[in-house]
Structure 1
């Protein structure tokens, strides 16, 4: 049962209700704290959130035509989900330099982007945590290992135990089986290219009514609410932190429906609003915008923004046995070719960082009438590339173009550099080698499927272009309030406390000092669990 809003004085405010917000609320509430979760968007039922076809397709076409989702439609996830789970870009504007587009996808509703999460759950390794191919973190895999394990078991993650040092094994349910095409690909690239192909690690498809475990309402947020100590307030847009010296007193909230403003106080504030939105809140809380505002000793707030650089290829392979029954495409129902470059001096390249390839075959075939190459195994390869942090890739505030609630908006300046271009060139050569080793051919998606209504939109989509799409496309934005061992190196300490306000935690992707190549959500959730557990201990000690 939810507590009464009128009599509720929180011990902790959690800003955001998605993957990290759900974990923060769960950990804090189960430790006995009263938790107020602030969500900028509505609280939808599962039926309202996920919708159904063909209504979702009709909504997509209408929203793209109206300009409501002109930019977000470039991401493939937009085509799988109810478009109402993506923001109205007219009410939620942002700006970029004319020569540096950034594709920012947002989900403002209870559950956030956990409702559109692809469900891939990969751990980072010490290869990413340690300095070398990037700046490194002040923590290691061992610091997050127990929290990774708790999350894998709580969420019911599927995956194999592959014994790869660059992708630590977890504690998971058995992997979903390969399709015949994937088994063929594994055999060929292992023999001819000495490359591993492993079962993906993640969620299987949700079947039936209600919330999937990948949504915070189906797992962590549900547990937080079950304590009776968590209140979720929707349509609550956070403007900024209110500082009292070197501690936050609370936050200023704008009512999403009425525009009314109020200040809410609590001893602890946890920012889980997603990377760029968290940066917007922190920047708007700074001394440049608020009297007595948040101090940033490092001068790095808003800087070192990253996203995974991505590129995709579709392909087909003739002469492969067809599956006996349909096999799902999901976070668990797919495969990975993990990173194998720059792991040691003998496989160093002309770029820093690494990349992995997500792949699947025979998992998304439409009816035979819509197949242009019947009888061939059709697949995709999507690269996740490790982007190096650069100070000039940053978020600042645009006060001249406010949002629908009168708040300053994000100005995002982020460009791929020469290092990323060399990484993608290597990625493309590997994709070509992988497909050739399997006896296949790379093809345009319209050469594989008949898509009469969608072909005009697909042809103009950045997802299917020959080059890497602009930053933001892969929805893995990270950095801007990076974790560091000292206050002159970053914005938060190794337990995610702001150096300038230690009762403020930044636990979403904003705290990352380096991107790695792995999908970030599981690591963000593990970071959140660890940071909130430590915060509870400090509160109990009176620190």
Structure 2
């Protein structure tokens, strides 16, 4: 029997397996999808394009196709939506992007690695909306540092109090392109805004092996398997956590083989959910129905968040072309949040919380024949806006519909509030000011590129509509099982343990009490490492 079961093999699941294995535990990792080789996982062109067109035309991936990232990846890394349905209220879309395979969504992760600061951890104390986190940056700093070293993150010390520096980064920042340097100079001069190189990964080289470090198989899961104490079971669709009704302790999980549909039970004295936010909420809710799980706060499923997003494409006047050095990484650049920080330098606004702008210029130029302005430097700006946790945004189980394995599907009820709408207005005005400062022009994508095959699909997508894209679009869903300082205020304690079932950990984005504006993956991995290291020691002492 395993000492611990980890549900999910993506970014947080790989870290959980590594932390538990390094503590000497025998770990069983259950993954709902198949185990793919690297060539099969990433595919190649033009085969990927042909598969995308077939999947979208058939309706198997019509929701996934709403996101631009879908159009540059192998569609095999996105679920078949016929087998994996979910529901939303009429006229209220939520774009839930899922990847069921070993490595999960880490195989399509953008690789941005920004830490949260105490401005995010203590936001509730500052503006009075919702609880603050029961932990601070200092609690996660050692785990941030270990991850930055393990993953060989590129980044520099920018000295910004709202964005802690990557002290564990062994690699220098990836260079900006000439157009990004031009923008950096202009917005500092005209708008007093910082622009920093993004923190993340260099492009994979053949010498690095078949898997990039940004995915679980090239990072934490790889290191976990190398310990010899981790067993990986793919095609294991977990139904629910099993709980002893007398003690309240988790005893294991029930799972269904994805192809044979046979039911299995796996037992362990520690269970860790890393299935991704909405999937873990679905498992917890189903565990209440059939597994005997008790959750006393009444908050399970409530407070779902995603980052609110607005984006634009733009063209700058002719600038020097980037060389191979400038294009050596997937880093691009960032304009960090500068509003509502509670400091004299920070701008106060008519909305709560803040946002950052992700930027890239000269990084996705197609052949000249496909550019409508052949000498222009084309770029994008994408906002990362913090969404407030509100109980009316929630996940529940559909009362009738089930998926291909007979499990209740998630019903997702989430919409933007007036606070997010005001934030998007500010975000769009700032994007206009940023582009104008550099002498550029915002334009529709179709005015910048010739896209004969995909233009009708892209132009008709929900994400390209005016205003904010629908919830779920940014693939940063968070919340629903928040950690808190007391069981009345949250589903989990500060160590990611269910209050009444302490040998059940929830270590993905569902544990977040608030969203911050930064990309959540690095912080979720740090939370997972911290929680699992603590639980492993408690288990070995007989205290869990």
Which piece of structure 1 moves more, 254-263 or 153-162? 254-263
- Take 1:345 and 1:424, find their aligned partners in 2: how far apart are those partners? 22
RMSD, aligned CA: 1.2
Q: SS where residue 401 of structure 1 aligns?
A: strand
- Take 2:324 and 2:172, find their aligned partners in 1: how far apart are those partners? 20
1:392-431 equivalent positions in 2, closer than 5 A:
392-431=392-431
Structure 2: state its 5+ residue gaps. none
Q: Tell me which residue corresponds to 2:274.
A: 272
> Does structure 2 retain, via aligned residues, the 8 Å contact 1:313–1:464?
no
Shift of 1:42: 0.2
What is the total number of aligned residue pairs between the two structures?
A: 531
Q: Tell me which residue corresponds to 1:21.
A: 13
1:109-508 equivalent positions in 2, closer than 5 A:
109-130=101-122, 131=124, 132-133=126-127, 134=129, 135-170=131-166, 171-172=168-169, 173-208=171-206, 210-244=210-244, 245-286=247-288, 289-290=289-290, 293-325=292-324, 327-328=326-327, 331-332=330-331, 334-344=332-342, 347-508=347-508
Q: Residues 330, 73 of structure 1: CA spacing in aligned structure 2 closer, same or farther, 3 A cutoff?
A: farther
> Does structure 2 retain, via aligned residues, the 8 Å contact 1:329–1:360?
no
Q: SS where residue 406 of structure 2 aligns?
A: coil
| Structure 2 residue corresponding to 1:56, chosen from 48, 53, 76 | 48
- Take 2:482 and 2:146, find their aligned partners in 1: how far apart are those partners? 25
- Take 2:357 and 2:323, find their aligned partners in 1: how far apart are those partners? 26
- Take 2:390 and 2:500, find their aligned partners in 1: how far apart are those partners? 22
Which piece of structure 1 moves more, 119-128 or 364-373? 364-373
- Take 2:72 and 2:204, find their aligned partners in 1: how far apart are those partners? 14
- Take 1:505 and 1:324, find their aligned partners in 2: how far apart are those partners? 47
Shift of 1:345: 6.0
Shift of 1:328: 3.1
- Take 1:96 and 1:446, find their aligned partners in 2: how far apart are those partners? 30
Shift of 1:323: 2.1
> Does structure 2 retain, via aligned residues, the 8 Å contact 1:243–1:250?
yes
| Structure 2 residue corresponding to 1:78, chosen from 56, 66, 70 | 70
> Does structure 2 retain, via aligned residues, the 8 Å contact 1:322–1:375?
no
TM-score, normalised with respect to structure 2? 0.96
- Take 1:452 and 1:88, find their aligned partners in 2: how far apart are those partners? 26
Q: SS where residue 305 of structure 1 aligns?
A: coil
Structure 1: state its 5+ residue gaps. 1-8
Q: SS where residue 516 of structure 2 aligns?
A: coil
Q: SS where residue 411 of structure 2 aligns?
A: strand
1:2-21 equivalent positions in 2, closer than 5 A:
9-21=1-13
Which piece of structure 1 moves more, 509-518 or 243-252? 243-252
TM-score, normalised with respect to structure 1? 0.96
Can you list the C-alpha shifts for 1:246-274, whole angstroms capped at 9, x where unaligned?
Answer: 11011111111111112211000000000
Shift of 1:386: 0.3
Can you list the C-alpha shifts for 1:386-409, whole angstroms capped at 9, x where unaligned?
Answer: 000000100000141100000001
> Does structure 2 retain, via aligned residues, the 8 Å contact 1:198–1:335?
yes
- Take 1:126 and 1:350, find their aligned partners in 2: how far apart are those partners? 22
Q: SS where residue 309 of structure 1 aligns?
A: coil
Q: Tell me which residue corresponds to 1:94.
A: 86
Q: Residues 504, 229 of structure 1: CA spacing in aligned structure 2 closer, same or farther, 3 A cutoff?
A: same
- Take 2:439 and 2:355, find their aligned partners in 1: how far apart are those partners? 23
Can you list the C-alpha shifts for 1:401-429, whole angstroms capped at 9, x where unaligned?
Answer: 10000000100000000000000000000
- Take 1:330 and 1:470, find their aligned partners in 2: how far apart are those partners? 29
Which piece of structure 1 moves more, 223-232 or 416-425? 223-232
> Does structure 1 retain, via aligned residues, the 8 Å contact 2:174–2:328?
no
Shift of 1:326: 7.8
> Does structure 2 retain, via aligned residues, the 8 Å contact 1:309–1:420?
yes
- Take 2:463 and 2:157, find their aligned partners in 1: how far apart are those partners? 31
> Does structure 2 retain, via aligned residues, the 8 Å contact 1:329–1:364?
no
- Take 1:217 and 1:344, find their aligned partners in 2: how far apart are those partners? 41
